[in-house]
Structure 1
C-alpha cells in the first residue's frame, strides 16, 4: 500500500512538472503588465476560467482569474485581447442544428486571438472547438462578428444550409481596396483563408503589422489533466486444476461469487489533440473471496472443502482515449486499456487445501465514459480475464474486473 501512495506522489509531481510553459505576459484591467511563463494549453482554445503561469522557470505554479485580465500573450506564439462582443451560441452539431438561419447572439466578455493586424484587424474566438471570426477597423473600439451559421432547411428540414452573410460583410468593409465579389465570395470560413484575405487587404494600404508567430508550430499545445479517482469494482474469479494428472483425485471448479469492492486511484491524462489522449491510472483494491470445491472419488464425491482467494493489488493502467462531442457541455469517450496487475506478497489462492501465491499479470480492457462540464468524468471499464496463477502449469485462476469510476479534474 505504501508503494501505491509513493508512486502516486511521484506521478503527480512529474505530471505537474511536465506542463509546458513559454515566455509571455498578461495585463490586468488596470494596465499592469506581468512578465511570466504561461502554460501553452491556451493555444488551441481561448482562455477562460483561470490562467496557469510561473513567474520564473521551475518556479511555483500559480493561477489567476482571467476575469481580471485584459490581455494574454505567449511571445512569438499567440496574443489574446479581451472584448465584450456578440457571440453566436447555437449548437454546431448536426443533430442539434436549428431550423432557422438567424444567429443566436449573446453579449459576452471573451478573449479573442489577434490573427491579422493592420488597417483591418482579424480576431478569432475558439469556444468548444467552434471558431468565430471578428473584424476591427481603425477607429472602432468593439469588434464586429462576421456572421456564419449552419442550419437545417428544405421541406423536411433534412438539408444542412449555410448562412454565409460574412461574405457580404467582408465585401462591404473591403470595397475601398478594390476587391470584387469574386475575390471575397470564394473565401471559406476558415482561419487560413480569412487570414490570407485580411493580409492582402492590409498590404494594399501598406499599414499591415507583422504578427510574429514564428514559434507557433514548434510550441506544444499538449494538455495535462490530473484526476483523483474513486469507484467500485465487481470482481469475478474462479479456480480450476487444468492438469488432472497433477492431483490424486479430480477436483471441481471453484466458482467464487462476484464481489463489489471499493477502489481508489489517480489518473494522469495527456491530451495530444482535442479529441485524443493517452492516460495512466494507478489504483488499489483488495478482495477476499470464498467458495466450495468438491473432491471426487472413482464414483462419487469424497469431500467438500472450502477454497479461498485473497488478492490485494496495485493496478497500473495505460490507455488511449477518444472523445466524441454530443453537446457543448458533454462528451462521451471510449477507452482502450492495457492493465498490469501487481499483486501483494500475501495474495494467494487456497485450494486442495494448499496455498498458491498469485503472480503479477498483464491484461487488456475496454471502457466507455461520459465527461460533463469539462472537469467531471464517469466511466465503466471491463478488464478481460487474466490468469493470476499462470506461474503454475496445472492451476488456472481467471480473474476479471468490471468497474464504475468517478473522477474530477484538478485542472481545467
Structure 2
C-alpha cells in the first residue's frame, strides 16, 4: 500500500505539469467581432464561465468570459451562446425540495450549450445543482425563452410533485397541432429534443434540424478493446496461521479490457471493464528448533474482473500518464489450500468469489499502447480468516495494445 501511495503522489505531481490541447475555434466579442483563435478545450461537463485561448500557437494565454463574449465555439463542437434572464431553481437535482410549487427565479448571465439548431433551437445550462433548458425561435432569435419547471413536495406527504410551466410555454411558442405531445413531454433533455425535432419537422419538413451535441457525443466517446499481458507477483499471508511464511511467486497473466474514453475533459477520463487470468502456487514453511519445515501448500487460479475509472494526464499530443482506481470481483476457479493436520482445514476453506479493490498508475502512447502497474487490496480469500482482511497480496505489471 505504501508503494501505491508513493506512486500516486508522484503521478499527481507530474499531472500538475500535464497539458490540455488548444484547438481551433472562435469567440464573438461584445462588438460582434469574430475572433479566430485557439481555445483550451476542456470539453466541459458543466457550462464554462471563463475560457482560456491563444491567438496563435506561440501566443500568450489569455481568457474571455461571459461578460465580454457573446458566444464561442471549438470547431466541430457545440456552440455556446450567452443568455441573460431569470432561470428557475428546479430542485430536480437536489434532495431539499420544499413545499413551494412556484419556482424561485434567479437572474443569471451564462453560456448555454446548443443542443438543437433549426426553426426552434434548444440550449442547455448545467452545473452541479441545476439543469435548465432555453429556447430560441426563428421569429425572435434574440429573446431567449427560458423553460420554467419546479419539483416540490406535497404538504403532509413525501410525494414529489411537478409544476410543469414549460408545457404552457411550448404551447404558446411551439405549437404545431401537437397538444397531446406537449402533455407527454417531460423536463428532460431526451424528451425535449424529441418534441422540438418533431415540431421543426412539422413546420418545415425539409429542415427538421439536428441534435448537434448528440452527434458530437457519439464521435467523441471512444470505445476500444485492449489486449494485455504481463506478470503478477502473488503473496499469501494468513495472519491467523501464525509463524508460517508462504513464498511470493511471479506468474504470467493475460486479459482483455473494454475502455470507454468519455466525451468531456479533453479525453482525460475513461471507465473500463477488464477480465484477466492469473494463478499462484506456493508452499508454506515454518521453522521449528532451527529446522525449516513445510507445513502446507496453496494452489489458486483466478479470473480477476475489474471495474474502474482512469484519469489521463497529457505531456504531449501522444504521451500521457494515468491513475486508475476501482473494484474487483475474483472468481477462484482452482482453490486448493492444504495445511498439515494440525490445522483445521474446514476453517481455512478458500472462497469461490471474493471482493476487493485496486489502484494503479501507468503510461500510455496515443491512448493505444499501455504500460500498467496495478496494486490490489482487500483480497481476503479464506472464509473465516477474520484477522486477515487482505491475506492475498497481488501486484501486476502489464503491457497492452488497443485494437
Normalising by structure 2, what TM-score? Answer: 0.51
What per-residue deviation string (whole Å, max 9, x for no partner) do you get for residues 301-350 of structure 1?
A: xxxxxxxxxxxxxxx974249xxxxxxxxxxxxx954369xxxxxxxxxx
Corresponding residue to 1:278 among 300, 303, 310: 310
**Structure 2 vs 1, CA of residues 173 and 52 (structure 1 numbering), >3 Å: closer, same or farther?**
same
> Post-superposition shift, 1:135?
1.9
Q: Secondary structure at the match of 2:125?
A: strand
Q: Secondary structure at the match of 1:218?
A: helix
Query: Contact (CA 8 Å) 1:38, 1:54: kept in 2 or not?
Result: yes
State the Cα RMSD in Å: 4.5
Aligned to 1:26: 27
Aligned to 2:14: 11
| d(CA) in 1 for partners of 2:150, 2:197 | 24
Structure 1 residue 196 and structure 2 residue 194: aligned?
A: yes
Aligned to 2:83: 83
**Structure 2 vs 1, CA of residues 183 and 95 (structure 1 numbering), >3 Å: closer, same or farther?**
closer
> Post-superposition shift, 1:98?
1.4
> Post-superposition shift, 1:205?
3.8
Aligned to 1:35: 36
> Post-superposition shift, 1:78?
0.3
Structure 1 residue 319 and structure 2 residue 325: aligned?
A: yes
> Post-superposition shift, 1:182?
0.9
| d(CA) in 1 for partners of 2:94, 2:13 | 44
Query: Contact (CA 8 Å) 2:86, 2:105: kept in 1 or not?
Result: yes
| d(CA) in 2 for partners of 1:165, 1:217 | 32
> Post-superposition shift, 1:280?
8.3
| d(CA) in 1 for partners of 2:207, 2:129 | 28
Corresponding residue to 1:338 among 327, 339, 359: 359
> Post-superposition shift, 1:86?
1.2
What per-residue deviation string (whole Å, max 9, x for no partner) do you get for residues 240-273 of structure 1?
A: xx8444859xxxxxxxxxxxxxxxxxxxxxxxxx
**Structure 2 vs 1, CA of residues 145 and 336 (structure 1 numbering), >3 Å: closer, same or farther?**
farther
Paired positions, count: 258
What per-residue deviation string (whole Å, max 9, x for no partner) do you get for residues 264-309 of structure 1?
A: xxxxxxxxxxxx843589xxxxxxxxxxxxxxxxxxxxxxxxxxxx
**Structure 2 vs 1, CA of residues 78 and 53 (structure 1 numbering), >3 Å: closer, same or farther?**
same
**Structure 2 vs 1, CA of residues 94 and 46 (structure 1 numbering), >3 Å: closer, same or farther?**
closer
> Post-superposition shift, 1:47?
1.4
**Structure 2 vs 1, CA of residues 99 and 362 (structure 1 numbering), >3 Å: closer, same or farther?**
same
Aligned to 2:158: 158
Aligned to 1:146: 147
**Structure 2 vs 1, CA of residues 98 and 165 (structure 1 numbering), >3 Å: closer, same or farther?**
same
| d(CA) in 2 for partners of 1:82, 1:180 | 30
Aligned to 1:121: 121
> Post-superposition shift, 1:190?
2.1
| d(CA) in 1 for partners of 2:209, 2:42 | 24
> Post-superposition shift, 1:162?
0.9
| d(CA) in 1 for partners of 2:375, 2:359 | 7
Aligned to 1:62: 61
- Equivalent positions of 1:381-392 (< 5 A) are none
Query: Contact (CA 8 Å) 2:91, 2:151: kept in 1 or not?
Result: no
| d(CA) in 2 for partners of 1:101, 1:194 | 22
Q: Secondary structure at the match of 2:140?
A: coil
| d(CA) in 2 for partners of 1:215, 1:165 | 30
Aligned to 2:341: none
**Structure 2 vs 1, CA of residues 171 and 222 (structure 1 numbering), >3 Å: closer, same or farther?**
closer
Normalising by structure 1, what TM-score? Answer: 0.50
**Structure 2 vs 1, CA of residues 186 and 115 (structure 1 numbering), >3 Å: closer, same or farther?**
same
Query: Contact (CA 8 Å) 2:357, 2:378: kept in 1 or not?
Result: yes
> Post-superposition shift, 1:96?
0.8
| d(CA) in 1 for partners of 2:9, 2:134 | 50
> Post-superposition shift, 1:170?
0.8
> Post-superposition shift, 1:103?
0.4
Q: Secondary structure at the match of 2:218?
A: coil
Aligned to 1:45: 46
**Structure 2 vs 1, CA of residues 208 and 160 (structure 1 numbering), >3 Å: closer, same or farther?**
same
| d(CA) in 2 for partners of 1:97, 1:5 | 39
Structure 1 unpaired stretches of 5+:
227-241, 249-275, 282-315, 322-334, 341-360, 367-382, 388-412
